[in-house]
Structure 1
Amino acid sequence: MATPLFLGLVGSVVAGFLVTVLLTGLVCEQAPRLGLLDRPTQARKVHRRVTPTGGGIAIAAGLAVGLGVLWGFWGSFPGAVQSLSFWVGAAIMLATGYWDDKHALDAKAKFAFQLVAAYLLLHSGTILPLSGGHADALSPDVVAGALPFSEALYIIPLSMLWIVGIINAVNLIDGLDGLATGIIGIAFLACAALFGVKGEIALTAVGIVMAGALVGFLPHNFKPATIFMGDSGSLLLGYLLAGYTLQGPLHTDPVLALLILPVLLGVPILDTGTAIVRRFASARTIFAPDRRHVHHRLVDRGTEQGAVLTLYGVGAWFGSAAVLMGVLPAVWGYLLAGGTAVVAVVWAWRLGCLTPVPAAEGADARSQPVGGLAENEIPVPVDIITTGDPASVGGDGASPEAVQDRSADEPEADETPIAP
């Protein structure tokens, strides 16, 4: 019995991987015709040439095929993963991201769609583990009507905050080639490992298949990226990651179960948390962009590839700590959580991520690329569009003859609720 299940898992991972690889290449080729191009119109963007975006479409297809094959071998999925509302919410996030990649959706509209998706995720029975330490303890019926009013007053808002917050945190770290893809994949694998040691084998298989689809996208997305995942990818994956982490038991101690969640997603939460603190300390709105994100500071101290690989290691460290917290006695779990938090905050502080942003630097964030310009280097025009052979477009940039000036009055894409 175990052998067919194992072969089914392997087949699911391979199917999701291959579909993502093949469709990513197709989306990359067709991106100019589809209007899915990321233009470096914002100076804080690292890339300086037109690059295809919308890779989330290929990732979504890989996930659908991989999970479909897994369902065929293993049967119905556990928990809310088999709920229709769970996947309708995912479809809304994919469609919202696609529309934003193509037409630049208003930030308020994106936030509204995120709330709708979060509601659907709650309707599937997915809520924070505030009732005994088990995230899967409540069914959709309980969430819909049987949840005591006194608990619903705080469980529902906090669950919505978790879902929307993770969606935007994932969007924020999508700032370097391959960064978000790898960090999300590591988080899926860490959570799958935690579910595995808790005996939730089917949930573990779901997480492994999701990570497999991301591995299929990474060769196209690692520097020099030939395509970006775009908001179609970051919004979808943020939603799935927020929902997946709440599908199984984390720890019998309810408080420690809650602490495991931010450790599992340590990199995006650390980056978002330091951004909020930094901007408050600078007497600026939390929506104001700057160049003090964790990945920005690492790039300033080295290279883009080095920054990405460093954050992969940090993500693996957070994931390993979360798995250990899930199996250790409560006291040791609290000590590990506290130690992990202290080390992470000190590291971010040493990098300068908590340093208030001077007014002049805040203004320069809109006029200087990340990492600055080399001496005598000519900045890229702020509005460019790719023409000619679609296959020639890549993350390493289009050739000079493949770009032309575009009207300067074209609206720039709005940011998600917290600006990168």
Structure 2
Amino acid sequence: MKPILALILGFLSVVTAMPFFINYLNRKNTSQSVSEYSLKEFKEKKKTPTMGGVLFVLFPVVTMTILYPQSWLEIKSALVYLAYLAYGGIGLWDDLKIVIEKKNDGISARTKFTAQVILAVVFYLLYRQSASSVIVVPFTGWEWNLGWLYAVLVFFMFAGASNGVNLTDGMDGLAGGTSLLAFVPFATIAYLRGEEVLFAFILACIGALIAYLRYNWHPAKIFMGDTGALALGGVLAALAFVMKLEFALLVIGGVFVFETVCVILQIGSVKLRKKRIFIYTPIHYAFTMSGWKEKNTVLFFWFLGALCAFLGILIGVSA
């Protein structure tokens, strides 16, 4: 009963508070600056307020604090909450700098990366006594003890997931929808394992994201900003970490991996060959430049996200 209540509260809190939050942000002129190099069709969004992620990060944690106050005393759930809040905090720092300075730069990439490294190290150290450096290869039963390399893997999980969601956050409903779908495998596996607290938290996040998408679907009334994007990536990585779903995360977050790999390949090709591989990156923009409508591009990526979620469930169950 409590997990369903968490889902309902997550949804109702965000769907109720968001209109007031949007009005407040509009009064404070918190729209994100749009670069002159942005695609023409996206420049009209420059007056849309950002930092919508504040609500769908904050309210699920508040919901869990009300329904499961003792969960803050359990390292597994507390680490997940802290990851959500902490990575959201980095994003909020970045968003506030952009809004205040009216530039699209935000905090430097080095500063952001350093903060992500520090958080990943802290979370690993906090959970080290409970974590196993052994990972299980899906469908084979093979066990692989990574030893100290497991700490490196944990860092890449957090950095990769948070930045992957951030790269994906470029169209109305894109990052929110694909992140919502990515939560589904974790919810399914948590339910099958009888991990009620994690199951309830994930449902609260899903409810909050459904409410957020009510205002972020095209034409968006608000963007999640780095606050939401980094938080979503951070919490997905944290869930994979505490639930021992390292391999599954690669598949569950397949859309984010795809976006990230395309950007890396594009940068590498430009630096080494002075040529582009893709029309534009992040890759979702290449679809619109090829004639796709924004809504159709987003729905296609949602389809890919749903497929990744289904495969992630199979991998997670096998693990």
Task: Please say whether Structure 1 and Structure 2 have the same fold, judged by a TM-score greater than 0.5.
Answer: yes
AA matched with 2:31:
L
In structure 2, the residue corresponding to 1:312 is in which secondary structure? helix
**How many Å separate the matches in 2 of 1:265 and 1:259?**
10
**How many Å separate the matches in 1 of 2:72 and 2:258?**
31
The counterpart of 1:196, out of the listed 175, 191, 196, is 191
In structure 1, the residue corresponding to 2:220 is in which secondary structure? coil
**How many Å separate the matches in 1 of 2:257 and 2:95?**
24
Identity %: 26
1:96 aligned onto 2:98: no
Question: Which residue of structure 2 lines up, in the alignment, with residue 298 of structure 1?
Answer: 287
Question: Which residue of structure 1 lines up, in the alignment, with residue 134 of structure 2?
Answer: 131
1:63 aligned onto 2:60: yes
Q: TM-score, normalised by structure 2?
A: 0.82
Structure 2 contact 6–203 (Cα < 8 Å) conserved: no
Displacement of 1:319: 0.8
Question: Which residue of structure 2 lines up, in the alignment, with residue 277 of structure 1?
Answer: 265
Which range moves more in the overlay, 29-38 or 169-178? 29-38
Larger Rg: 1 or 2? 1
Alpha carbons of 1:290 and 1:40: their partners in 2 closer, same or farther (altered >3 Å)?
A: farther
1:156 aligned onto 2:151: yes
Which range moves more in the overlay, 30-39 or 220-229? 30-39
**How many Å separate the matches in 1 of 2:11 and 2:236?**
18
Q: Please, which runs of 5 or more residues in structure 2 have no aligned partner?
A: 98-105, 138-144
Displacement of 1:128: 8.1
**How many Å separate the matches in 2 of 1:115 and 1:70?**
32
Alpha carbons of 1:81 and 1:55: their partners in 2 closer, same or farther (altered >3 Å)?
A: farther
Question: Which residue of structure 2 lines up, in the alignment, with residue 39 of structure 1?
Answer: 33
**How many Å separate the matches in 2 of 1:26 and 1:61?**
15
Alpha carbons of 1:264 and 1:38: their partners in 2 closer, same or farther (altered >3 Å)?
A: same
Structure 2 contact 185–252 (Cα < 8 Å) conserved: yes
Question: Which residue of structure 2 lines up, in the alignment, with residue 108 of structure 1?
Answer: 110
**How many Å separate the matches in 2 of 1:87 and 1:204?**
13
Question: Which residue of structure 2 lines up, in the alignment, with residue 184 of structure 1?
Answer: 179
Alpha carbons of 1:64 and 1:96: their partners in 2 closer, same or farther (altered >3 Å)?
A: same
**How many Å separate the matches in 2 of 1:80 and 1:34?**
38
Alpha carbons of 1:17 and 1:284: their partners in 2 closer, same or farther (altered >3 Å)?
A: farther
Question: Which residue of structure 2 lines up, in the alignment, with residue 234 of structure 1?
Answer: 229
**How many Å separate the matches in 2 of 1:78 and 1:259?**
28
Alpha carbons of 1:129 and 1:296: their partners in 2 closer, same or farther (altered >3 Å)?
A: farther
AA matched with 1:262:
L
Alpha carbons of 1:69 and 1:13: their partners in 2 closer, same or farther (altered >3 Å)?
A: farther
Structure 1 contact 86–121 (Cα < 8 Å) conserved: no
Alpha carbons of 1:246 and 1:43: their partners in 2 closer, same or farther (altered >3 Å)?
A: same
Structure 2 contact 50–222 (Cα < 8 Å) conserved: yes
Q: TM-score, normalised by structure 1?
A: 0.64
Displacement of 1:260: 2.0
**How many Å separate the matches in 2 of 1:35 and 1:130?**
47
1:310 aligned onto 2:308: no
Structure 1 contact 129–246 (Cα < 8 Å) conserved: no
In structure 2, the residue corresponding to 1:224 is in which secondary structure? coil
Q: Please, which runs of 5 or more residues in structure 1 have no aligned partner?
A: 1-5, 135-147, 251-257, 331-420
Which structure has more helix as a fraction of its residues? 2
AA matched with 1:125:
Y
TM-superposition CA deviations, 1:276-303 (whole Å, max 9, x none): 1232233369xx9972433123323321
AA matched with 1:298:
F
Displacement of 1:33: 4.3
In structure 1, the residue corresponding to 2:232 is in which secondary structure? helix
Question: Which residue of structure 1 lines up, in the alignment, with residue 122 of structure 2?
Answer: 120
